[in-house]
Amino acid sequence: MSIRNYRPRASNRRGASWRATIVVVALLLTTIGLEIAYPLTHGSTLSDLTIATVYCAAAAMLLHSYLSYGKLFALIFGAITLLYGYGIEELGIRSGWPFGTYHYDPSLGFAIAGVPLVVPFAWLMMSYPVVIAARKVAQGWIFLYGGLALMAWDIFLDPQMVAAGRWHWKLVGPHSPFAPQIPLSNTAGWLFAGMGLIALLNLVLPRERRKYGANSTIPDLFLLWTLCAGVLGNLFFFHRVGLAIFGGLLFAMILAPYFFALRFGRPDLD
């Protein structure tokens, strides 16, 4: 009878290829560069910068979803998010529900029945890191965590886009905190619409990562950058101190459990 030394098998998971990693990192850095340039730019160039930022960020998140979770995940995620984003925005501009009464400006580029094509891609760029974070920390309340995170992001987004003339509101009733030009119905609408999207994505998206898939560093950095850009932009460039403090605290409180779990929690086993 022989005694064999037991040696635990090393983890087989490796990262994505260096070529793919370079592409997704370049897309993220380009997104950050475009957002840094935004408050320093004036005139008609701003609309082009806005559109380019969204498409670049969406491409980074969609590519990362493929590298991390595989083709099926990326196809399902992209199709559902784009259709949901377009559908809820179409419902919004036609009925005033769930966001309130608003319309988009032609400066956002090509539109389908009043909804600019770039808008569903904005849903895509944020819903991917949010669904990852929600699945990590929220367990049975993934839909609520995701809705709150998307709502907090929009608290930064809407005042900036309205000030630039990208969309226009008919203000009825109370306004969003520290944003007198945005109806409170929009904040509530983002909460409920966000909960619906994240619940749907959580229901249908696979959970298993690719054996050689990328880790979550890229979407994590994008979440942190979105928080920092919202605070710094409103504080130093857009002169909305109240919004910077309120939105920053709210977004930070929502993201804190996720980053705490990343640092101190149990690692993913999939």
What is this structure's pTM? 0.92
Q: What's the rounded Cα separation, in Å, for the pair 116 and 197?
A: 19
Closest CA to 182 of 191, 170, 190: 170
Q: What's the rounded Cα separation, in Å, for the pair 70 and 158?
A: 33
* Every domain of the chain and the residues it spans: 18-262
For residue 210, what pLDDT band results from cuts at 50, 70 and 90?
confident
Using CA atoms, how far residue 48 sits from 34, 167, 207, in Å, is 10, 15, 36
Least confident of 167-176, 187-196, 216-225: 167-176
- Coil, strand or helix at 72: helix
The more confidently predicted of residues 18 and 108 is 108
The reported pLDDT for the residue numbered 153 is 98
The reported pLDDT for the residue numbered 166 is 96
The reported pLDDT for the residue numbered 95 is 96
Least confident of 118-122, 125-129, 170-174, 218-222: 170-174
The reported pLDDT for the residue numbered 164 is 94
Query: Percent of the chain at pLDDT above 90?
Result: 84
Least confident of 7-16, 35-44, 95-104, 139-148: 7-16
The reported pLDDT for the residue numbered 86 is 98
Q: Which residues contact 39 (CB under 8 A, 6 or more apart)?
A: 233, 237, 238
The reported pLDDT for the residue numbered 241 is 97
Closest CA to 57 of 87, 88, 33: 33
The reported pLDDT for the residue numbered 43 is 83
Geometric angle at alpha carbon 252, from 99 and 201, rounded to 5° = 55
Query: Over the stretch 136-184, which tens digit does the pLDDT of each residue have?
Result: 999 899 999 999 999 999 999 999 999 999 999 998 889 999 999 999 9
